[in-house]
Amino acid sequence: MCLQVKSQRDESWVTLQGKLAKRLGEDSFMFRDFTGEIMVEIDDESWVGQEISPNDTVRISGEVDQDWSDVKVDVSSLSKVGGMPVNLGDFSVK
């Protein structure tokens, strides 16, 4: 899927499943799935209190952000695959 994302139009909505392989900066990570790697940006509010390690499989959704030289995904939602729900008061999200 990472390879397919690189050919998507700017601002396309995508969902990927894989691992956050490496931290590149404060909000920037290298995301890896079975097709390759792509840079993703994850703002603080997308974490919703989750602790995620490079060993955890995650599902991310967000917008493709293309500029002249690279492609990245601005992540809007992030969740562990198969993880325990995160308690957000009256409801939970996986």
Nearest to 30 by CA among 79, 90, 71, 63: 71
The stretches in the chain having pLDDT less than 70 are 83-94
**What pLDDT was estimated at residue 91?**
39
Burial status of residue 94 (CB atoms within 10 A of its CB: 0-12, 13-18, 19 or more): exposed
**What pLDDT was estimated at residue 83?**
52
The tokens for 74 are 């601005």
**What pLDDT was estimated at residue 68?**
82
